[in-house]
Amino acid sequence: MIRSPIKQTQFKPTEPKPESGPRKNRCGWCKTKFVADPPWLKHCSTDCGAELGMALAAKQKAKAQRQERSADKAKRDAMKSYPQLIRETQKVFNEYIRLRDAKQPCICCNRETTKVDGLGSHGWDCGHYRSTGSAPHLRFNEDNAHRQLVFCNRDRSGNAVEYRKGLIDRIGLERVEALESDNKARKWSIEDLQAMKAEYSSKVKQLKKEMI
């Protein structure tokens, strides 16, 4: 096999890189680049330094105010009574259920709108199949709570017979019977209620965000 001769190339010396000059910082206020002296300087002029200083002071003040509000809220939460925490947790749980079922019809009458002639009351409730009065241990059970027309929940005292039919269609007979046979008492701690309230508050925010 005949090999082709190696092609000779002329050697070119590497040209020296131009001097980069002194290092430049970017002004923290106006964002222009400048030669800092001393090197740690974050602003290019006295005016920018004053503006930057006021902005940083305002940021620190806002942070301190947020921390103070958070500490005050923690103190208020620590002072809340058990019944108060039950009510607050129930409120956010009920809101979550109404949002969760926003695309579902009424669990009882299967209506999709509150604007129906002949209804005594309008609007949507979070209706419990087994009421919080007769089965308080199921007040935060998601199988036991569904969006329900105010008319069915209040004017018809829960409309239990139709609620059961709708519930079987939605979650199945086995889970309905599990609810009906669940008579185990539950006692939530303060920490349990605070955790549930935070959890359902987060779920409510997420559902509202998805609806935008």
Q: Which tokens sit at 162? A: 């139709």
pLDDT at position 202, please?
A: 97
Is residue 197 a part of any domain in this protein?
yes
pLDDT in tens, 110-125: 998 776 666 666 799 9
Tell me, yes or no, whether 151 and 53 share the same domain.
no
* pLDDT band of 134, cuts 50, 70, 90: very high
Does residue 194 have a pLDDT over 60? yes
Is residue 167 a part of any domain in this protein?
yes
pLDDT at position 212, please?
A: 82
pTM over 0.85: no
Tell me, yes or no, whether 46 and 133 share the same domain.
no
Does residue 180 have a pLDDT over 80? yes
* pLDDT band of 156, cuts 50, 70, 90: confident
* pLDDT band of 155, cuts 50, 70, 90: confident
pLDDT in tens, 54-107: 989 999 989 988 988 888 777 777 778 999 999 999 999 999 999 999 999 999
Tell me, yes or no, whether 106 and 176 share the same domain.
yes
Does residue 189 have a pLDDT over 70? yes
List the domain range (segments joined by +) for residue 54: 33-78
Q: Are 170 and 142 in contact (CB under 8 A)?
A: no
Q: Which tokens sit at 59? A: 């940021």
- From the list 33, 26, 29, the residue with the least C-alpha distance to 51 is 29
Tell me, yes or no, whether 74 and 84 share the same domain.
no
Instruction: Return the residue matching tokens 């305002």.
Output: 58
- From the list 102, 109, 96, the residue with the least C-alpha distance to 166 is 109
Tell me, yes or no, whether 69 and 172 share the same domain.
no
pLDDT at position 117, please?
A: 62
Dihedral sign, CA of 90, 93, 94, 95?
Answer: positive
Distance CA(152)–CA(174), nearest Å, equals 24
Does residue 200 have a pLDDT over 60? yes
pLDDT in tens, 21-54: 678 889 989 999 988 888 888 888 988 989 988 9
Is residue 49 a part of any domain in this protein?
yes
Does residue 9 have a pLDDT over 70? no
Number of domains in the chain: 2
Is residue 50 a part of any domain in this protein?
yes
Tell me, yes or no, whether 140 and 49 share the same domain.
no
pLDDT at position 158, please?
A: 83
pLDDT at position 11, please?
A: 59
